[in-house]
Amino acid sequence: MLALKFDFRDLFRAPRLAFALQRLWIQVAGLFVGYAAYLLLTYLSYFISGFELAMTWKRYGLVICPFSSGELLPWYGWVVYAAAVLLLVVSFLIANTAVSRATYMLAKGNHFYTWREAYRFSFRKMLSVILTPISLLVLIGLLVLGGLVIGLLGRIPYLGPLGISFFTIFWFIAALFLLFFVIILFVSLLMAPSIIATTDEDAFEAIFQTFSLVWAQPWRLVLYQLLTIALSLTGFFVFAAFVKQALMLMNSIFASFMGVDFINLMHNGLATLQGWLIWGQSTLESAFGEYSHYIYFSNSFLTLPDLSLVVKISSFFYTFSLLFIGLWVLSYLFSTYTVGNTLAFMVLKNIKDEENLLERKDKEEVEEAEEEEELTEEEEADSAERDQ
């Protein structure tokens, strides 16, 4: 069992706990499936909106978002794009729940908990994870709808303006509740996977715990979130910097021994990669500023003409290999954040409720213990029958 101090110091364990093949693979799988669905539906939204796929791909590559690009889509294009975002969010929540569950079981001392078991738990709790923000969104929608109805009633001559002004205090309190629910919705998107993974409860418990965290521990929640984000970005930067240096070392070695062929396929591969991720480069530069060149190839690479077919094919394999490596690096960012949230919730739960979640047996563990007991009894009965 992991020995927690139940304060902010526990969060510094997140980068180390996240840097494990199991947690990274869980995050890689969820990120790949979710973003692949997002990419396909986003390009479909552009296609049905009248954009040429070849030109759209040449312009945006693998990083495409109509909000950042300023493209105006018709309503049906926005509907398809909304479905793309929804699938991405759902996939992200499922993967985060699985990562959080794997971290929780590791903290309890279960070193044999597999990524399959983590995803099995996550899919079993998928409805609860999704219903948590949806339920809060429905409450917010009802409050907004109530405000619209009151606003329409306020248009009644004479009585409307008088009624609105007379009950101003009540409308102000309702607006405060609305703002509070919006904050709760935002926190639930961040914390619901960790809450459900560590308590093995349903959406109602996740909503209750979210309210409890925001109301009872607001400053710790904010500070823990800021610390978790800082640790995630720092871990990501260090990991990405090491990966870049390793790639540069590999390129130098192969260029020395293979010569022109490897240099050509490397240049072509990097040029292709930069073309596909051109919009992602600005995100890195805005996050890390002048230090961003430490974690990606900032030099401009051009596709070389008149290359042999073997070199061209090899350059594409090189590009996809770099993409695969980059996916693992990016997954470490999200995995560290999820692990940090898992540790943060266990700490906050102990502070506000004086309960150590590592000492409790949840439903999954009880069911497994009962199954093992039944299996042992059956084996003993079979052994007794054979002895007779």
The pLDDT tens digits for 341-365 are 999 999 999 999 888 888 887 777 6
**Alpha-carbon gap, residue 177 to 380, rounded angstroms:** 60
Q: How far is CA 344 from the centre of its chain?
A: 16
**Alpha-carbon gap, residue 51 to 59, rounded angstroms:** 11
**Alpha-carbon gap, residue 167 to 90, rounded angstroms:** 40
**Alpha-carbon gap, residue 264 to 100, rounded angstroms:** 43
Q: Which of 56-65, 188-197, 338-347 has the lowest mean pLDDT?
A: 56-65
Position 367 pLDDT exceeds 90: no
**Residue type, position 325, single letter:** I
pLDDT tens per residue, range 239-278: 999 999 999 999 898 888 888 888 888 888 888 888 888 8
Structure confidence at residue 181 (pLDDT)? 92
Position 224 pLDDT exceeds 90: yes
**Alpha-carbon gap, residue 149 to 152, rounded angstroms:** 5
Among 342, 240, 333, 332, residue whose Cα is nearest residue 22: 332
Polymer length in residues for the chain:
388
Position 382 pLDDT exceeds 70: no
**Alpha-carbon gap, residue 56 to 340, rounded angstroms:** 37
Position 383 pLDDT exceeds 90: no
More confident call, 188 vs 384:
188
Region 131-154: mean pLDDT is: 88
Query: What are the structure tokens assigned to 64, written together?
Result: 């495409």
**Residue type, position 174, single letter:** A
**Alpha-carbon gap, residue 350 to 7, rounded angstroms:** 9
Q: Percent of the chain beyond pLDDT 70? A: 94
Structure confidence at residue 384 (pLDDT)? 60
Angle, in degrees to the nearest 10, between helices 203-216 and 218-258: 110
Query: Is the entire prediction scored with pTM above 0.75?
Result: yes
Structure confidence at residue 27 (pLDDT)? 96
Most confidently predicted of 134-148, 281-295, 339-353: 339-353
Among 100, 92, 105, residue whose Cα is nearest residue 195: 100
Q: Which of 32-36, 37-41, 359-363 has the lowest mean pLDDT?
A: 359-363
Region 44-53: mean pLDDT is: 92
**Alpha-carbon gap, residue 280 to 286, rounded angstroms:** 10
Among 19, 187, 190, 193, residue whose Cα is nearest residue 118: 193
Most confidently predicted of 87-96, 280-289, 355-364: 87-96
Position 210 pLDDT exceeds 90: yes
Whole-number Cα distances in Å, 79 to 33, 90, 312, 366: 20, 16, 38, 43
